[in-house]
Structure 1
Amino acid sequence: MRIVTAQSSADRHGIILFGHGARDPEWAGPMQRIAARIAALDPACPVSLAFMEFMRPTLDEAVDDLVARGVRSIRIVPVFLAQGGHLKRDVPLAVGRAAERHPAVGLSLATAAGEAEGVVEAIARYAIAP
């Protein structure tokens, strides 16, 4: 049994699931399901979605929202299969700008979710399933 206690604003952390975005709003469905699963696993951890283009909120908007909600540490998790050009160049610049706007907030950028061993394993198992 897990007991969740209230966090002080000094140690409150949040997660932003960051995706590319698409013109079709249904594209965000898997990210919404991941966010719901995170919320179920850790109800005290605020989780938000953010998108590079076509959809809202933007990364800036998501960071600003979590900071306004008292979050002091944010992990940005790119829901991408690999570390492509956006994740190597554009996203670190955007995270840096957000860090400049919120110097009291710790921002960290994870590698692409698709590069995590557990995700690779899950996709492999999915691919060979009957």
Structure 2
Amino acid sequence: MKAIILFGHGARDSRWREPFDRLASLWHEQYPQTPVELAFLEMMQPSLEDAVAALSARGVSDLTIVPVFFGQGGHLRNDFPVLLEECRGKFPKITLSATPAVGEDLAVLQAIIDFGARAL
């Protein structure tokens, strides 16, 4: 079974999480057969390892992690690869892969331009 983790930075203010919860809900509505979990780098739960563990318990064998970051800064270049390798070591029966940061995708950038254009 395949699944997806939407991976964000995390913040002290719990309201920061609200768009991530909406994003996960939209995913679930549009792809109900593919489980989705949220995970956060810091300050919020679940951690990446906890999210992988939860999906593993559901029988997931192929997991894609989508960093919901605007770009490939230090966290994605330095911290995320370490966390990903730790999860690969702890969950060897799960194939773990990751996409680039969502902000590096042309369609995402175009959606932001379109959003701005609608505000004019």
TM-score after normalising by structure 2: 0.96
Residue aligning to 1:27: 16
- The yes-or-no answer on 1:108 pairing with 2:97 is yes
TM-score after normalising by structure 1: 0.89
Q: CA deviation at 1:93?
A: 1.0
Stretches of structure 2 lacking an aligned partner (at least 5 in a row): none
1:52 aligns with one of 17, 41, 65: 41
AA aligned to 1:21 is: G
* 2:37 counterpart SS class: strand
- The yes-or-no answer on 1:123 pairing with 2:112 is yes
Stretches of structure 1 lacking an aligned partner (at least 5 in a row): 1-11
- The yes-or-no answer on 1:94 pairing with 2:83 is yes
Q: CA deviation at 1:123?
A: 0.3
- The yes-or-no answer on 1:80 pairing with 2:69 is yes
**Post-superposition CA distance 1:80-126 (Å, at most 9, x none):** 00011110111011011101111111000111011111100000111
RMSD between superposed Cα atoms in Å: 0.8
Percent identity over the alignment is 44
- Displaced runs of 4+ in structure 1, greater than 3 A? none
* 2:71 counterpart SS class: coil
**Cα distance between partner residues in 2 of 1:115 and 1:72:** 27
